Amino acid sequence: MYAAATSSAGHVALPVTFEIVSMVVLTLILIADVLLIFKRPHIPSAKESTAWVVFYALLAIAFGAIIGWLGNGEAASQFYAGWLTEYSLSIDNLFVFVIIMSRFSVPRKYQQEVLMVGVIMALVLRGIFILAGAALIESFSAIFYLFGAFLIYTAYHQAFRSESDDEETESKLIVWLRKRVHVSDNFDGAKVRTVVNGKKVFTPMLVVFAAIAMTDVMFAFDSIPAIFGITTDPFIVFAANVFALMGLRQLYFLLGGLLDKLEYLKYGIAFILGFIGVKLVAHAMHVNELPFINGGKAIEWAPEISTNTSLAVIVSSIAVAAIASAVKIKLSAKSQDK
């Protein structure tokens, strides 16, 4: 077993070999998933989708156990808390994807390609944001104040966000694109470009991809500060994001029409974001260096919320939101039967 060293940032430094091999293996899994989609486009059955979602969940659990074995229990808890936070945010991301798919009437057979492109774009964007966030934290500890305030604001917006808000934002993008790009009226499979009357034009798939990309950027702004409130280890941050996005495509088809019925999910996510926002502000106070706050000295009474506490709050929030949503669905079904 490798001996785990503790870095100056306070997190456990995992073996570099493990980090490199992990990223290579995860990349190969994603590539295999992409190739499978483009070689055999189809609508996955509930059985197939369930098998893949369970497989990726078990893979994440096993990965966390390996981190605990090579590092320590704290590192494993950080990964699990980060993974669950990012997973819940990814499910919320899926809800917006559903709106986009329905608004543009994307053929169900080709929705897998759209989702996979969305996942890849999300990974790239989050990778960039992770590097930027890590650099900011390293050079400017007061960034935790900004991250915390942003998450508290995001939590409020999440709780009171409506579907019309998402549609209004997308509509502005669509109008802007259509004014500058000639887009055909109909899809041509999963193609972005097609030929109409002898001229090459873009298909509505371009607008769909643009809407997905914009959604990914918005959620990256939310998710990266959220996970940095749990751990500042760039490897754990990125790994948690990768595992949260793996299986998202299958989850989309598994949940199907249930996504828009998970009424209380957004409140559970809002509570998680608000909690992590408060945790970040408390941490910023604890390591305060700003001269106009307490004379540039640490605020000793500021609490430090442990990773295990964060994990418990995250799991409880997701569970309560899911159970409350399920009860609401059941009660609604009963009232309709009467």
The residue extents of the domains of the chain are: 5-333
Tokens 């941490």 appear where?
283
- % of the chain exceeding 70 in pLDDT: 85
pLDDT at 59 (0 to 100): 93
pLDDT at 3 (0 to 100): 38
Give, as one character, the DSSP assignment of residue 4: P
C-alpha closest to that of 154 among 281, 270, 267:
270
CA 306, CA 311: separation in Å to the nearest integer? 9
C-alpha closest to that of 240 among 80, 33, 117, 24:
80
CA 246, CA 248: separation in Å to the nearest integer? 5
CA 13, CA 279: separation in Å to the nearest integer? 23
Question: What are the tens digits of pLDDT across the range 298-338?
Answer: 787 777 888 888 889 988 988 898 888 888 878 777 777 66
pTM of the model: 0.78
The length of the chain is: 338
| 185: helix, strand or coil | coil
Question: What are the tens digits of pLDDT across the range 179-219?
Answer: 667 777 777 777 778 877 778 887 878 878 877 877 777 77
H-type alpha helices, 104-203:
111-139, 143-160, 163-180
Question: What are the tens digits of pLDDT across the range 39-65?
Answer: 666 677 778 888 888 999 999 999 999
